[in-house]
Chain A
Amino acid sequence: MLIKTENLWKIYEVGAEKVHAVQGISLEVEKGEYLAIMGPSGSGKSTLMNLIGCLDTPTRGKYFLNGQLVSQLTDDELARIRSKEIGFVFQTFNLLPRATALHNVELPLIYNGTPSAERIRRAKDALKMVDLEDRMTHRPNELSGGQRQRVALARALSNNPSIILADEPTGNLDTATGSEIMQLFGRLHSQGNTLIVITHEAEVARYADRIIHIRDGKIEKEERLTKQG
């Protein structure tokens, strides 16, 4: 099992008030799976993704990634895991504005200590995979929204992670561009990547093998989809 969470809780304390963002989620994801997480705004999707992506630690509960317990690690240990196991795609792209596409894609490889020749080779490969090999030296402000998200996807791919996590990857894109990105996700999945995509659009979620619906920090229901080609 690639991902296994046991009764995960995340409680934020805002002043005297406590916000129960994630309330006892137990979840398993297999290697090579394509999972969508759906739910209304404020239901705790992003919070869950941060926990799965090792950006944050749960208040309670256990999280095993590749069999390793990662729910109680320090900042730097989590960073080390992120640099090896996780690739993120954000709604707002989150590219470094002053860096070229190639450099943005190289970033995870810089931090996991990949030697520079191999780093450049792998970054170029990742850009090729998202059909952007001709935009390597462009900066984010010289790219369209869809292209930016493809650079972000290439960045998520470059360190060959165990999971690619995407939080509303099409949220800032028009429908046509969004479906282009989703087709790209499909292609990555067919190449064996494990994907978790957060969305509130059914149109986006239907590319997945399985959809988990979340409400008020709890799993409301789960549905398994059968591919129609």
Chain B
Amino acid sequence: MQFLESILLALSSLRANKLRSILTLIGVIIGVMTVIAVVSIIAGMNRYVVDKISALGSTTFVIDRIGVVTSEEEFFEALKRKKLTMEDMEAVRENCAFCYQVGGRVVTVRKVKYKNQYLSDVYIAGATANWPELISGIDLESGRSPTDFDEDHRRQVALIGWEIADKLFFGLDPLDKEIRIGGRRFKIVGMAEKRGTFLGQSQDNFVIIPITTFHKIYGTRRSVDIFVKAQDLESMREAQDQARMILRLRRKVPQDKPDDFSIMTAETFMDLYRNFTSTAFLVMIGVSSIALVVGGIVIMNIMLVSVTERTREIGVRKAVGARRRHILWQFLVEAVTLSLVGGIIGILIGVLIAKLVSVTTPLPSAVEWWSVVAGLLIASSVGIFFGIYPAMKAARLNPIEALRYE
């Protein structure tokens, strides 16, 4: 009753002056909105990234020429490095005792044709026959992957991604059909299951051919990415150290110089990602706390004005028997109602932003229920924290002075 009355009073004064209300609540709205939007976007990415990055597997690492670079200088520095060759890969394969499987992969982008249909910008990967053991996340729908035999004889056979099958064959069985890549005919021996998109990019527009065939056709200019799978999690370190030593020796890297190649694990990508999300979280906390403090102060100010304007009302209430806690509650409920309205608007806008981002950009988003609860909690805490002073001021008013107030 008293409760409901205070809530209705707060709502009706919000309704009475819409522009002022929006200005009053804008701080809380922005604060809560930021929390919801950032948490939703990061949560969406988490699901994705953890899922996709871990496709590399926890016992697999990749050695490549460039690695993960975070600045332009690093990139140009890395470009000066010698490319990794098939011989480098063979050396690791021969000499690394802790490396259970070693493979190589080279990539280019080409146009793929079937009859008069074609697809441009398809990833053509030349891979050693053991790649299915090195990369998880690609499953066969039908047929097979290129084999050692195919590799040894540089046969022009291909495993195609789901999108190639879909766009060029329209659901017909592509097995044993011939596609053309740069004028050369490849027999389709297998087709992969659909993998979906990652950060907005299709993961199904690829063709895998034997790495030897790749080199025969496109030459050996490209650096080979070396994929290594360790025996188990325990031997990951040793496998990396050994592979590193072998490559440094072969590539004659002086003792005091850093590696001229880089070793990346699923952990490397996760670290990079965590780095990014923690920065995003920090920015979010910064923006939302400033907004919330500003919003809280505005609410406090509005409540102080309200207490002053209603001094007589407080006097009347006290005269007819209201105790301090009645008045305290009334004004506190009013402040919390105000900030909660701001919080709810903030949640709605935050969700909208998250949805908009996932629709218009490759970033996914997922609204987490706990972030909505957190938003409401944050908003009401702001109301309580900044409303308590005006409410106490109201509760302490002397009834006679309040009744005399003009």
Contacts and interface: CB of A to CB of B under 8 A. Distances in A.
Given A56-B400, A94-B403, A116-B1, A107 B323 contact: no
Interface residues of A, number: 26
Contacts of B319: 53, 55, 82, 88, 94
- Please tell me the size bucket of the interface on B: 20 to 34
A98 interface: yes
A11 interface: no
Given A50-B400, A98-B9, A79 B323 contact: yes
Contacts of A155: 320
Interface in A68-105: 75-76, 79-80, 82-84, 88, 90, 94-98
B83 interface: no
Nearest to B326: A111
B317 interface: yes
B337 to A, nearest CB: 16
Contacts of A110: 1-2
Given A83-B320, A155-B320, 9 more contacts: A55-B403, A75-B324, A79-B322, A82-B321, A94-B316, A94-B403, A111-B326, A116-B1, A159-B321
Interface of A: 50, 53, 55-56, 75-76, 79-80, 82-84, 88, 90, 94-98, 107-108, 110-112, 116, 155, 159
Interface string B1-38: 11000000100100000000000000000000000000
A164 B323 CA distance: 20
A56 B404 CA distance: 13
B399 A111 contact: no
B155 interface: no
B193 interface: no
B313 interface: yes
22 contacts: A55-B399, A55-B400, A75-B324, A76-B323, A79-B318, A79-B321, A80-B321, A82-B319, A82-B320, A83-B321, A90-B403, A94-B315, A94-B403, A95-B316, A96-B313, A96-B316, A98-B12, A110-B2, A111-B317, A111-B320, A111-B322, A116-B1
Contacts of A82: 319-321
Contacts of A108: 320-321
Interface of B: 1-2, 9, 12, 312-313, 315-326, 399-400, 403
Nearest to A75: B324
B258 to A, nearest CB: 75
Contact of B320 (A76, A88, A97, A116): A88
A108 to B, nearest CB: 4
Nearest to B316: A94
Contacts of B313: 96-97
A190 B312 CA distance: 33
Q: 5 closest Cβ contacts across the A-B interface?
A: A83-B321, A111-B321, A108-B320, A79-B323, A76-B323
A55 B320 CA distance: 10
Nearest to B313: A96
A55 B399 CA distance: 7
A94 B1 CA distance: 21
A208 B179 CA distance: 114
A111 B1 contact: no
A86 B367 CA distance: 55
B11 to A, nearest CB: 13
Contacts of A111: 317, 320-323, 326
Interface centre among B2, B9, B321, by most chain A C-beta atoms within 10 angstroms, is B321
